[in-house]
Structures are given as structure tokens and as C-alpha cells.
């Protein structure tokens, strides 16, 4: 049993280290900071709309570099936002298939809880979908996890055991019950919003519009 535990610890630590390369801080000019994930190497960052609600947004990369950020699109109904920073060659996250998640599957939430940079917390999937018993009803699908999210986790990635993003951490609804927007909902949000922006032929938008969604 100890051998299996040791192996699991090593594998989870490797996933956290690898995922940390795509994890950023999002600062909104007020006290505190949320999290975000590099979605595309050319500066596209995904986070929560409530994290990106300030007037002086910046994104802090894992190496400590702080870059001004602007909102490309914000969707309060989904609590999602796409930010743009002036950078290229960033380490983008690998995106998994949230529709294949199963109850009991291990997942890991990353962020900066209480200001602790690059922290990870493990838990298991409770369910995926729009109509889960005992869960408050919202207008779209969720990944519900047995995992305690804290201030600073908002906007950060929920990842599977292979280090792929399967959700964007958003809220808690009870003790040790967290909710994340599923990756396939995030992809649909970005596809619709960024393609609409791309019709304006803005050079600053064309790169992300061509990214894999």
C-alpha cells in the first residue's frame, strides 16, 4: 500500500509542477488576486468574470513577470472571461474532455488560495451536468467536486490525473463542495465569443481566434 501511495504522490507532484507552468495570477487592482490559465501561447488567458472585474487588470506569470491585461470577452452568466496580454510563446495548458469525467474520479484544483502561490488540492468528482441532486440549479452544466475551494482558487484550472484542464474553478456551495465550469463549456464560450470578435479583423484578436478550441 505504501508503494502505491508513494507512486501516487510522485505522479501528483509531477502534475502540479507541469500544470504550474500555465497557471497565472490575475490581479484586478484591488486587494487579493484570483487565478487564471494560459489557454493559448500568444497571450490568451482564461479566468472567472468575477476575478476580472476590476479596472486595472494584470496577469502575473509563474516567473513573476507582471503584464497589463485587457478583457477580450466577459460572460457573467457563465462567470467566464478571456484576457489578453502582450506576450508570445507562453506555455499553454492541455485541455481534456470534461464530458468523460466520472463520479469518483480524482481531480486537482490549482490556484493561489489565501495568497499561497501555485497550490494544489485534490478531491474527487461528485458529478457532471446541469441537474444534479442536492446541487443548486443554474443555467448550464457544472463539474461538482468533493474538494474545498478557497479565496484565490477562483478562475484557476481543475485538472485530471493526466494534467489536462477539465474545468475552471468558480465557487463553493457547501463544505468541501466546489463547482467548476466544464472545459467543453469553456471551449464553446471562447469559440463563439472570439469568432465574433474576429469578424472585426482586429490584429490583436486574430491569433487567439485561430487557436484550438
- What pLDDT score does 209 carry? 42
**Of the residues 58, 79, 112, 184, which is catalytic?**
79
| Residue from 50, 140, 146, 204 carrying the catalytic annotation | 50
pTM of the model: 0.86
DSSP state of 92: P
Q: Which residues of 52-70 are buried (b: 16+ CB within 10 A; e: fewer)?
A: bbeeebbbbbbeeeebebe
pLDDT tens digits along 61-114 = 999 999 999 999 999 989 999 999 999 999 999 999 999 999 999 999 999 998
Residue 115 CB-density burial (10 A; 0-12 exposed, 13-18 middle, 19+ buried)? exposed
Task: Give the HSE-up count for residue 209: Cα atoms under 13 Å, Cβ half-sphere.
Answer: 17
Q: Which of 14-18, 76-80, 124-128 has the lowest mean pLDDT?
A: 14-18
Annotated catalytic residue, options 22, 58, 98, 154: 154
Q: Is 79 a residue of the active site?
A: yes
The string of pLDDT tens digits covering residues 144-174 is 999 988 889 999 999 998 899 999 999 888 7
Whether the pLDDT of residue 204 is over 60: the answer is no
CA angle (156 as vertex; 150, 161 as ends), nearest 5:
100
Q: How confident is the model at residue 1 (pLDDT cuts 50, 70, 90)?
A: low
Contacts of 59 (CB under 8 A, 6+ apart): 24, 25, 26, 27, 36, 45, 66, 67, 69, 83, 85
**What pLDDT score does 86 carry?**
96
Domains and CATH numbers, the chain: 2-93 (2.40.10.10), 98-185 (2.40.10.10)
Amino acid at each position: 500500500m505504501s508503494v502505491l501511495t508513494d507512486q501516487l504522490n510522485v505522479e501528483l507532484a509531477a502534475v502540479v509542477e507541469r500544470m504550474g507552468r500555465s497557471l497565472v495570477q490575475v490581479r484586478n487592482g484591488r486587494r487579493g488576486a484570483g487565478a487564471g490559465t494560459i489557454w493559448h501561447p500568444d497571450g490568451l488567458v482564461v479566468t472567472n468574470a468575477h476575478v476580472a472585474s476590476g479596472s486595472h487588470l494584470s496577469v502575473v506569470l509563474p516567473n513573476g513577470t507582471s503584464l497589463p491585461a485587457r478583457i477580450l470577452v466577459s460572460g457573467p452568466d457563465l462567470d467566464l472571461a478571456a484576457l489578453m496580454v502582450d506576450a508570445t510563446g507562453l506555455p499553454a495548458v492541455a485541455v481534456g474532455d470534461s464530458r468523460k469525467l466520472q463520479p469518483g474520479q480524482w481531480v486537482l484544483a490549482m490556484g493561489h488560495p489565501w495568497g499561497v502561490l501555485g497550490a494544489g488540492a485534490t478531491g474527487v468528482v461528485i458529478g457532471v451536468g446541469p441537474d444534479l441532486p442536492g446541487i443548486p440549479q443554474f443555467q448550464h452544466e457544472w463539474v461538482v467536486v468533493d474538494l474545498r475551494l478557497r479565496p484565490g482558487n477562483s478562475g484557476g484550472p481543475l485538472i485530471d490525473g493526466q494534467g489536462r484542464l477539465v474545468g475552471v474553478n468558480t465557487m463553493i456551495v457547501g463544505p468541501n463542495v466546489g463547482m467548476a465550469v466544464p472545459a467543453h463549456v469553456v471551449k464553446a464560450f471562447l469559440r463563439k465569443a472570439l469568432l465574433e470578435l474576429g469578424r472585426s479583423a482586429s490584429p490583436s484578436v486574430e491569433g487567439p481566434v485561430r487557436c484550438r478550441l
